[in-house]
Amino acid sequence: MIADRIYCTISGIEHVLKNCGDYLLRFKSKAFILYDETGRRIELLPLLRHLKTLESTDLKCYYKLQTGEMRPLRIVAMKKDEKAIEQNKQRMARKVSKKQQKAAQADTIELNEYIIIATSLDYSNEQILELYRARWQIEQVFYRLKSLFGYGEVPSKNADTVKAWFYGKLFLAALCERVLRTLSFSPEDDEAFIVDIVGAELVG
């Protein structure tokens, strides 16, 4: 399971493990306490501040169940570049100005200078981060569908109408994506172009 920080909870992690799965989740600050193997509480920031731009590290941690049982968890972290850090600060400031959320605490702001992943996978740091980036690309596709093609709310409660509306929007999005990826094409290629689009969608 690869997911954003909203799913990074002990109950969510336990659900995946009980169903014989692995997880790769964006770590949510203050969602739960991390411990070392001796049961001592871990503070992440002091362990990450040494990282240089785009440098990564991993930490063997534990979380604690209500029964007191300790469960292993791996943290993989990488420091963002300056551009990404600045963009994130601006995004947080906009949310505060629009009263969408309270001003973040200083340690939360600093933690956002890193990509922090909680995982059960034994892959390399680079593979873990690459998997998360792939998930983010999917998020970007959904964001474009909602913002550019109006996927926010359906126009009807009728199942057939909604299905027709959805597939029409999806076809339009696929068509636009294909056009953007094609540097140039002649009118003579139009028929083959449309067949290619429809065939790709049906196969997909």
Please report the pLDDT score of residue 203 as a whole number. Answer: 44
CA pair distance 182, 196, nearest whole angstrom? 12
What is the DSSP pairing of strand 24-26 with strand 2-3? Answer: parallel
pTM of the predicted structure, to 2 decimals: 0.69
Kindly report the number of other CB atoms within 10 A of residue 92's CB atom.
17
Please give the residue that has the higher pLDDT: either 155 or 40.
40
Place of tokens 């990564």: 56
Question: pLDDT for 19-77, tens place per residue?
Answer: 999 999 999 888 899 999 999 999 999 999 999 999 999 999 999 999 999 999 999 99
Ranges of each domain in the chain: 2-124, 153-203
- Token pair of 23, please? 């997880």
